[in-house]
Amino acid sequence: METGEKALPKVAVVVFVVKGNSVLLGKRRSSIGHSTFALPGGHLEFGESFEGCAGREVMEETGLEIEKTTLLTVTNNVFNESPKPSHYVTVFMRATLVDPSQRPENLEPEKCEGWDWFDWLNLPNPLFWPLEKMVRSGFNPFTNDDGNIND
């Protein structure tokens, strides 16, 4: 950061890719949340829609093609644990697979140990803390929506 430049919040879009009762999670290798299980996702690019960002990030990180992408919720979190504090407004989306038989690939192995499906009632530990906070508050990606996922 340039001297005198003010740190600003960033916008991230992350995705609950759902299949049956499961969600896709990967163990992070990034400094924020290292070794914790998190959703695929990343930074919103200039001019991008939330849906567009969700599809691009899931494709870049897992190779999976998603559809029926809907907005679930937004969080506002400050990450003090990283080398440099950061602040994210994170947009949580939900999507399904175009082809439910498609398997996730670990396309950014420097950022993630690998992707796998986890039953919502049997999530792995430790979860990335923003996700852990949501789960503890009772948030459920299968029901927090307009109810049309099985259309």
Residue burial 86-114, b: 16+ Cβ < 10 Å; e: rest: bebebbbbbbbbeeeeeebebebeebbee
CA gap 128, 69 in Å, rounded: 22
Q: Does 88 bind ligand 8DG (CB under 6 A)?
A: yes
CA gap 120, 135 in Å, rounded: 10
Q: Which stretch binds ligand 8DG (CB under 6 A): 1-9, 94-102, 123-131, 136-144?
A: 123-131
CA gap 26, 131 in Å, rounded: 12
φ, ψ at 133 (rounded to 5°): -60, -40
Residues 6-25 within binding reach of ligand 8DG (CB under 6 A):
12, 14
Q: Does 56 bind ligand 8DG (CB under 6 A)?
A: no
Q: Which residue is nearest to Mg ion (CB)?
A: 42
Q: Which stretch binds ligand 8DG (CB under 6 A): 41-49, 94-102, 113-121, 137-145?
A: 41-49
> How many residues belong to the site for ligand 8DG (CB under 6 A)?
17
CA gap 126, 75 in Å, rounded: 19
User: What does the per-residue mask of binding to Mg ion show for 32-51, with x meaning CB under 5 A?
Assistant: ----------x---------
What is the contact surface with ligand 8DG in residues (CB under 6 A)? 12, 14, 30, 32, 38-39, 41-43, 75, 77, 88, 90, 111, 128, 130-131
